Copies of this chain bind each other. A is one copy, B any other.
Amino acid sequence: MCVRVDDLGERKLIEILQKFVADNGVLGFGDDASAFKIAGKMVVINTDMLVKKTDVPKEMSPFQIGQRLVVMCLSDIVAKGATPKLLLAAFGIPPEYEVEEFLEIIRGISQTSEKYGVKYVGGDLNTASDLIISGTAIGIAEKALIKRDGAKVGDILCVTGPFGLTGAGFKIILENAETPKSLQETFINAVFSPKIRPKLGLMLAESGTVSACIDSSDGLAWSIHELSKASQIGFEITNLETIIPKEVFIFAKKNHIDPYELALYGGEEFELVLTVPKERLEKAIKIAEKSGEILTPIGKAIPEKNIFLKKGEKKITIKPQGYEHLKTK
């Protein structure tokens, strides 16, 4: 009997892959991106593939597809404390695809790159049976990169933005969940026009206040588990509610869903999930304020390698769930 890739799934395959890849000495295989050192600087590279059939809700416009590609590629560069500089995009396009739609994707890529100070310099064009775009982002850091494995017991777990909006958005788009009309746009926008915070990422990185960092594209719960696994510590989340917008609570109540679940398992948020040594927390929060953003502490690193959520008097164990490619069974 032959074993199919979907018998194993993306994460198991990545585990197997590990023995075939070379250690580059800068960022480990399991980290958000790859990197190398050149003349005292760090060059960070990240490649991410967008497959229309599995990654793009049908309501997403071609411009938003381009925007989404840029954001997902840059997000990992930002999470390592580097400044994104260049973007390349290799396309697989169905022959019958409309030129105008293709150009809208290109406009999305070009304008979003420009917005983040990144040069979209080209790539590759091919025929394929489904629309597939593989982006490669390159960033530069003057200082050491922020890895996933630097968190220590006692470090404070922080995030750079709200969580739960995309979770609600996906429920509306994919499951037709009910929502007050006045809130619909907020949720849908969170899914269709994701944002990254390169300025905040860079300022935090350069301040030396961050001990470990990851982006949250696979969902908050998954990201926290990855930090935990890489740093060999656990986390106790004590005030998740502070990063859940009131709109999410309203939506959750209307649909009888747990708002905490929306925040933990929504995914596609592209925020930073990071740890800060206790004595540098005040400095880190001030840096965020200075750049007009908010850094919110939500818990702390503990010795037990598990993720706990304190919800009133209850203490719940958070499972490492998140979207997984190639796992259809």
What residues of chain A have their CB less than 8 Å away from a CB belonging to chain B? 2-8, 10, 13-14, 16-17, 20-22, 24, 29, 34, 36, 38-41, 43, 45, 47-49, 51, 53-55, 85-86, 88-100, 102-103, 106-107, 109-110, 113-114, 119-130, 132, 134, 136, 138, 140, 325-326, 328
User: Contact between A126 and B38 (Cβ–Cβ < 8 Å)?
Assistant: no
Interface of A is mostly: mixed
User: Contact between A125 and B21 (Cβ–Cβ < 8 Å)?
Assistant: no
User: Contact between B328 and A95 (Cβ–Cβ < 8 Å)?
Assistant: yes
Point out the residues of chain B lying under 8 angstroms from A92, CB to CB.
49, 51, 92, 132
- Closest B-chain residue to A110, C-beta based? B20
User: Contact between A121 and B39 (Cβ–Cβ < 8 Å)?
Assistant: no
Contact with A4, one of B3, B39, B96 (Cβ below 8 angstroms):
B96
Copies in the complex: 2
Q: How long is the Cα–Cα vector from A107 to B17 in the complex, in angstroms?
A: 10
Q: How long is the Cα–Cα vector from A13 to B124 in the complex, in angstroms?
A: 11
Contact with A97, one of B5, B90, B93, B114 (Cβ below 8 angstroms):
B5
Contact with A136, one of B47, B96, B120, B328 (Cβ below 8 angstroms):
B47
Point out the residues of chain B lying under 8 angstroms from A2, CB to CB.
98-100
Q: How long is the Cα–Cα vector from A3 to B17 in the complex, in angstroms?
A: 42
Q: How long is the Cα–Cα vector from A4 to B138 in the complex, in angstroms?
A: 32
- Closest B-chain residue to A20, C-beta based? B110
A131 CB, min distance to chain B CBs, angstroms = 10
Contact with A10, one of B20, B22, B125 (Cβ below 8 angstroms):
B125
User: Contact between A325 and B125 (Cβ–Cβ < 8 Å)?
Assistant: yes
